[in-house]
Amino acid sequence: MLQDSKYCRDCGPLPVNHKEKYIDSFIDYLLPKINSKTIYRLFTPIRWLLKAIGLIRLEKDFSRDYISLRTTVFTDEAKKQGVICWATRTPFGYINEFVMQIGKKLVWFEGLPCTELSNSRYSMIIDDKFAVKKILKKHNIITPEGRSFWFFQKKQAIHYGLSLGFPLMIKPRGGSISHHITTNITSEEKLKEGIERAICYESCFIIERYLPNTHVFRATVVDETFVACVERVPAHVVGDDVHTIQELVTIKNTDPRRKESPNKNTTHYHIVLDETSEELLKEQGVTLLSVPKTGKTVFLQKKVILDLGAELIEVTPIAHPDNIKLFREVAKLFGMKIVGVDFIGESIERSWKNQTCAIIELNSLPYIDMHHYPYTGKPQNVAKAILEMALKYYA
């Protein structure tokens, strides 16, 4: 059953309109894909027209409270270099459209600049997880075996999942940040539950092999050359032989870097305790009143959703050169000037050739703030790399 916009344990604290997402995805998969450069050329005159008739206005001094942090870290870097940026505001508030001035040239962009320079025949399907999977497989790039199904193909999907073999993973064909994903499925009952969970959110879903005992990494590639990489870790606490799990959560949530969701001017949020937390604690044989031993990690969420308290560990300096090369090759294959590459593996320090690993999906508008504000590790200035690229192509 479709749900209205409200809290959803599969989406996290931020409200998501499932009906709207469902209908949008259905239409998106049926409509022909248009090259991003073509879209840019078509919509730029329309943007200027909307500004001319007063339906939108450009603001140089915009509030960070209403703009995604991935954009404000870029505009902060641009300001340092003397590049002026404006945010676009409508009578209903800010939208994810911006303008930057390079010399005498005014350039529109959505979220981050240069996405319209991605003109490969593959670039227009970058957020379609199954289309990406097929292209990766075609070019012999590691990706989990899997197939896509429509909401009315549940029986075929169950049969396929059983034939593929456990453990399995189910996820919406589109979407991001782990919404409505079910991992480590080991029974037919859980397989059916995962399908229902996915089709509450989108009209199409993917069943694929699940790779246990792996970690989740996000590599952001700029101009097919610059690479930054973080490890994404689900919400957790580490025992000290003194405090209870509940006390450790309270202590961690007092970290000034963690904010209440939905705060746009942060990357890390308070740890959320919910039904999933209760299930995980039970699986780990503890309760919120348990006192874990020093160094013992207790997980409180399954998904790497930042709004649920997930953490980011900057791992760029220790990433194996083969893995960096792989991320660059993927960006080049898809013709993306900016792309997020989601990689799962046993260790980022070992070559992908020598471990269980895979590229699971790509993101056309990655959250670069995660590299600027990791929970641990040295920040990577992705915004500077993007600005240098913009100056190179637009100057």
Read off the pLDDT of residues 145-198 as tens digits, 9 standing for 90 and up. Answer: 999 999 999 999 999 999 999 999 999 998 666 778 899 999 999 999 999 999
Quote the pLDDT of residue 176.
65
Instruction: Classify the phi-psi angles of 79: left when phi > 0, otherwise alpha if psi is within -120 to 50, otherwise beta.
Output: alpha
| Three-state secondary structure call for residue 65 | helix
Quote the pLDDT of residue 2.
33
Residues of the chain with pLDDT under 50: 1-5
Cα 317 from Cα 228, distance rounded (Å): 9
Please state the pTM of the whole predicted model.
Answer: 0.89
Residue 98 CB contacts under 8 Å (≥ 6 apart), including other chains: 71, 75, 85, 86, 87, 88, 108, 109, 110, 111, 113
Quote the pLDDT of residue 203.
86
The distance in angstroms from the start CA to the end CA of the chain is: 51
In this structure, what token pair is assigned to residue 350? Answer: 């070992």
Quote the pLDDT of residue 186.
95
User: Cα torsion for 167, 173, 174, 179, to the nearest 10°?
Assistant: -40
Quote the pLDDT of residue 301.
93
State the residue for tokens 């000290």.
Answer: 240
Q: Are strands 338-345 and 357-363 parallel, antiparallel or unpaired?
A: antiparallel
The per-residue b/e assignment along 89-107, b for 16 or more CB within 10 angstroms, e otherwise, is beeeebeebbbbebeeeeb
CA 369 → CA 253, 264, 322, distances in Å?
20, 11, 25
